């Protein structure tokens, strides 16, 4: 790797490290909340939002995937192990649970079901200025999408609903009324 590439990566990693701790905690909590949305007594909120459910094949153990496609070409996929976002262009972004280390994939229209992390298309760390810019653009779009989803949850089901979800979370948590805004920071 050239010295220039190392400098570029170090600069971008420095920016990422500033948000990594809060991002890791927030993503973990968000994935918990999506699990609560699935189990909602009055009906699955992810399905109400427009997600499609993809279970593992019969006899296979793994995470159910929930896929959402926007009116453009954007795509979101949720698993218990992480979050995938693509704007439908050339690349996608994956955030693994417990790690706030965005990885990119050149494959944006892979087929489901995928029920294990190792089944995802090849995930790579950005390695040059262009790749880092693209990853941060996708990261910004993906986190904005999550924030907008949280606003929808509160508008549809109320802040009390989301507060009950976060109250059931046994880890250090971000208050329900702050979640949507935190994704937009």
| Cβ neighbours of 167 (radius 10 Å) | 11
Q: What pLDDT is stored for residue 13 in this prediction?
A: 65
pLDDT digits (tens, 9 = 90+) for 130-173: 888 899 899 999 999 999 999 999 999 999 999 999 999 999 88
What is the total count of domains within the chain? 1
Considering just the CA atoms, what is the radius of gyration of the chain in Å? 17
pLDDT digits (tens, 9 = 90+) for 57-71: 999 999 999 999 998
Top-confidence range, 34-43, 121-130, 134-143:
34-43
Q: What pLDDT is stored for residue 1 in this prediction?
A: 46
Query: Which residue range is the domain that position 170 belongs to?
Result: 3-184
């Amino acid at each position: 790797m050239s010295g220039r590439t190392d400098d570029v990566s170090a600069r971008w990693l420095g920016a990422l490290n500033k948000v990594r701790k809060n991002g890791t905690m927030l993503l973990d909590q968000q994935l918990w909340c999506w699990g609560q949305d699935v189990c909602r007594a009055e009906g699955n909120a992810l399905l109400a939002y427009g997600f499609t459910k993809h279970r593992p094949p019969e006899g296979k153990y793994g995470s159910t995937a929930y896929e959402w496609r926007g009116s453009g070409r954007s795509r979101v996929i949720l698993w218990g192990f992480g979050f995938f976002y693509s704007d439908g262009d050339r690349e996608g972004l994956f955030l693994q649970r417990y790690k706030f280390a965005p990885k990119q994939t050149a494959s944006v229209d892979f087929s489901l079901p995928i029920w294990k992390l190792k089944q995802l298309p090849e995930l790579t760390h950005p390695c040059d200025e262009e790749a880092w810019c693209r990853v941060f653009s996708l990261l910004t779009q993906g986190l904005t999408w999550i924030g907008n989803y949280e606003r929808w949850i509160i508008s549809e089901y109320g802040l009390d609903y989301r507060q009950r979800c976060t109250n059931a979370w046994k880890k250090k948590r971000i208050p329900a009324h702050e979640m949507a805004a935190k994704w937009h920071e």
